[in-house]
Amino acid sequence: MISSGEAWLEARLLRNCMVHEYVRDAAVQARALQRGHEMVPLLLNAAQATSTIVTSGHDA
């Protein structure tokens, strides 16, 4: 599903930062949004693999 635990942890930490913290620095917010955009393929692949497993009942 996800190529590494580090990638998943980074995505989780970024998500938590973006939704639970009020960022006052526009540059910090812009970097977070850019990184989030870069992670879209990782998350889409994970969602597709999960969907395949759930619907087929087999490992992807």
User: Quick one: DSSP state of residue 9?
Assistant: H
Domain range holding 14?
Answer: 5-56
Q: For the chain, what is the domain count?
A: 1
pLDDT recorded at residue 60: 53
User: Taking the alpha carbons of 30, 26, 19, 16 in that order, is the dihedral positive or negative?
Assistant: positive
pLDDT, averaged across the chain: 87
pTM above 0.85, yes or no: no
Q: What does the alpha-carbon distance between residue 52 and residue 1 come to, in Å, rounded to a whole number?
A: 10
Evaluate if residue 27 carries a pLDDT over 80: yes
Phi-psi region of 59 (alpha: psi -120 to 50; beta: other; left: phi over 0): beta
Evaluate if residue 35 carries a pLDDT over 70: yes
